[in-house]
Each structure stands twice: as structure tokens, then as C-alpha cells.
Structure 1
Amino acid sequence: MGTLFPALYDFFMKPLEKRKFISIRRKLLNNATGDVLELGSGTGINFPLYQDVHHVTAIEPNPNMTNRAHENKKQAIVPIEIVQVGAEKLPFEDNTYDTVVATLVFCTIPNPEMAIQEMKRVCKPNGTILMFEHVKMQNPFLSKLQDWLTPAWKKVCDGCCLNRETENLVKQNGLKMVGKEEFYNGLFIALQIRNIKEEC
């Protein structure tokens, strides 16, 4: 995990965040309730947006990101705990969280399927999973362009894959989508998911 990317992340993302992303994040996070787990919280851009929740546990494996998250933590109106750990092996009990949040993180998780399984495990039965991700586009030319660019992009952007098929992973792992919005011709998607599973 490099130190340059975390330092530049907010600077380069700021125009997109101010123009569109912040409203997408706010609308999505309005659906969060109870005890919340946020995967890959990065620099903590979501922290000030949480409203009617009890507590947020935010995990982030890159210490250079978490160092930059504390300023956003100060702006939060709900209690937030930052834990330095990856998404593929969460140190939490089954059925712990009412809501699990992942925003612009599944592109960088080394094993995204394992992370989806972990989300399912720690989210309560009938709990909510909220995702905002960039994904592989349906347009054949643009999707091939994403495939072509991804090897170089990963090196520059801390492992970010432009061509992740995150929506397919959600479906393949038995999660029930109850809401979906697309942005920028399907490059970005926001998903509301219900964690259907039998009570333990």
C-alpha cells in the first residue's frame, strides 16, 4: 500500500464528489440504520453523512488512509470507530450489524468474493447492505477499454480495478437487490441489498 495515492485521493476526487458523488452518498446513507459497518472507509468522506444510526465501525487496511480520516471523523454527528483491517477476514461476530456500507471500495479489494461473503456473515438477517461502486460497463467498446486500462491503472491507483463486475458478484452470492440506480451510463451503480438468510 503506497503513501502517494492516499495523499492525492481527496484532491483528485474533490471535483466529482462536489458535483455528483456527495449527493449519491447522502441519498444512499439515508437508508443506514442501527449499528453500521463501513468497509474500506478510506479518508472518511462518508463520516459526516451518517445521520440516524447508533454507531459506525469503519474498517480500512491502509494506515495512510486512516491517518487522513480523523479530520472527517471530527465532523461526524454519530460515534465512529476506525479499525485497521481488510474486508476479506472481518474480526466481528456473525449477525452483528444492522447495515453494511461499501462505497468505491470493491474495485480495490484483492478478493472481492470473499469480502461479499464476509459482508453477508456479519450483517444481520434481513439487514441492509448499501453499495456505491464503479463497475465494468455494458457497452462492448468501453468495457474492452476498461480491460485494457486496468493493469496500468492498478499500479497507479493503489490496486483499483476498472473492470470489476461487482453487481454480478452480488447476484452470484445470493444477495437480494431491492434497489438500483445507474450513473454516468452505467459506470457507477448504487445498490440497496437485503441480506436474506435464515436466523441462526
Structure 2
Amino acid sequence: MLVDAENKKEGKPMGNTFARWYDVFMSPLEKGRFRSVRKSLAKKADGLVLEIGSGTGINFPYYESAEQVIAIEPSRHMMNRSEERKRKSAVPIQVIQESAEQLPFADNTFDTVVATLVFCTIPHPERALREIKRVCKPGGRILVFEHVRMENPFLAKWQDWLTPYWKKVCDGCCLNRDTVHMMIESGLKVVSKQSLYKGLFVQMDVRNEGA
């Protein structure tokens, strides 16, 4: 299951400046509703867990039932900043420098996949979803917390307008990505969906129904 961390990666890894300020920038949100959402998702993650884009390890303290967490993260700077949270975790966690579009794992490996605030920055999200579906066991659970394109047409147009500028400031983050639609199109089943902040964010419980 281990891979060479020096393998060529897809996309542009996050820079050191963005990684250094990420937790500071997100702190007001993480102290509020985000924390409860992350806790509820991580608590449901059991068996062998794959976390996509673990960043600074913000989810690591909340895992309780997992046998082990294998986390992938393309940015070495983000990985370095997750070390303390990884050491303090109640469950074993291994972080691997890799991209979501080409996962170095065998088919049907993971019981649970966790993805939080990551699909907005994956360069090729459709490819990443195909890979997640491949490595997740049939019937496996995919736990998702993402910001998405809003259903309100006026607000969605504002997202479209802001996205080119937002991507430059936030290291490639797309405000207007329709992640829910992409998941359904990939063949995954959305079991439950909760909209937060007037539909800007969604929390989802998704199942991999297999090929």
C-alpha cells in the first residue's frame, strides 16, 4: 500500500505561504459549525479509511472508530503541518504525498472514504471520483463535506464571476464546482444530503454501489 512520495504528482501543489496561513484563515469557521460537521463525519468513518486531501490534518483529532486512516495530500507543505495532529490522533494515521486522480491502491481496498473541502481544488475531479469509486469497497461509505455551486441562480452567477479571482487568491479553489452533480454522474448514490449556509456548503453520506 505504500508508495514512493517522490512520484510525479497531478496538478500544482499548494504553496508554502498558503499552507502556513490556511489554519489561521479557516480558524473562525473551524471554531463554529465546521467543527461539529467534521466530528460527525469522522465519527462515522470505520474500518480502513481513506482521507482525500488531508491538508493540515484538521480531521485527524476526530477519528474514533477507524482501524487505520490512510490520508493522501499532494502538498508537502500541508503534510508537514499535519504532523502534530497525526501524532496526537487516537487512531493510526499514515499520510502519503499523492494526488486523488491516480490513487496507488488496489481495487476495493477501503471501507470508508472521507473528503472535506477538497473537491474544489482537485484539478480533475471526475477522474478523482472514478478512482475513489474504484478503491472503495462495494457498499462502502463516502463521507463528504464540500462547498458547492449554489442552487440560487443569482448567487450561482456571482460564484461564476468570482471564481477566476478566488482561484488566484486561494491556490486554485473553485467556488462554483457542482460536486453533487458530479458524484451522481459518476454512479455514486447520495443517501443523505444536508445544505449548510444557504446551500453554499453540503454535508453528504454517499454509497459506492459498485460497477
Instruction: Give the TM-score range, shorter chain.
Output: over 0.9
- Quote the Cα distance in structure 2 between the aligned partners of 1:145 and 1:71: 38
Residue number among 16, 26, 30 corresponding to 1:17 in the alignment: 30
Alpha-carbon distance, 1:28 to partner: 1.5
Q: Quote the Cα distance in structure 1 between the aligned partners of 2:128 and 2:189.
A: 16
CA positional deviation for 1:136: 0.5
Match of residue 57 from structure 2: 44
CA distance in 2, matches of 1:45, 1:74: 13
Q: d(CA) in 2 for partners of 1:168 and 1:73?
A: 33
1:3 maps to which of 13, 16, 25:
16
Aligned to 1:30, what secondary structure does the other structure show? helix
1:181 aligns with 2:194: yes
Aligned with residue 54 of structure 1, among 42, 67, 73: 67
Residue 168 of structure 1, CA deviation: 0.1
Q: What do residues 42-89 of structure 1 show as CA deviations (whole Å, max 9, x unaligned)?
A: 000000100011000000001110010001112210000000000000
SS state of the match for residue 44, structure 2? coil
Deviations 1:125-182 (A, max 9, x none): 1010011000000111111111111111111111100000000001101101111111
Q: Provide the residue aligned with 1:137 in structure 2.
A: 150
> How many residues are treated as equivalent by the alignment?
198
TM-score normalised by structure 1 residue count: 0.97
AA of the residue aligned to 1:141: F
What are the ranges of 5 or more consecutive residues in structure 2 without an aligned counterpart?
1-13
> What is the letter of the counterpart of residue 188 of structure 2?
L
Cα distance between partner residues in 1 of 2:162 and 2:131 = 29
What's the secondary structure of 1:185's corresponding residue? Answer: helix
Shift of 1:4: 1.1
Q: For the residues of structure 2 that align with 1:179 and 1:75, how far apart are their CA atoms?
A: 31
In the other structure, the counterpart of 2:94 is 81
Q: SS at 1:73's partner residue?
A: helix
**Take 2:184 and 2:155, find their aligned partners in 1: how far apart are those partners?**
23
Q: 1:114 aligned to 2:127?
A: yes
Match status 1:92 vs 2:105: yes
Q: Which secondary structure state, in structure 2, belongs to the residue aligned with residue 58 of structure 1? A: strand
1:155 alignment partner in structure 2: 168
Question: CA–CA distance in 1 between the matches of 2:27 and 2:20?
Answer: 13
CA–CA distance in structure 1, aligned partners of residues 126 and 174 of structure 2:
14
Aligned to 1:115, the other structure's residue is in SS state: helix
Q: Aligned-residue CA RMSD in angstroms?
A: 0.8
Aligned to 1:34: 47
Q: Distance in 1 between matches of 2:15 and 2:206?
A: 32
Q: 1:72 aligns with which of 85, 92, 107?
A: 85
- Return the alpha-carbon distance in structure 2 between the equivalents of residues 101 and 69 of structure 1: 16
User: C-alpha separation between the residues in 2 aligned to 1:111 and 1:167?
Assistant: 15
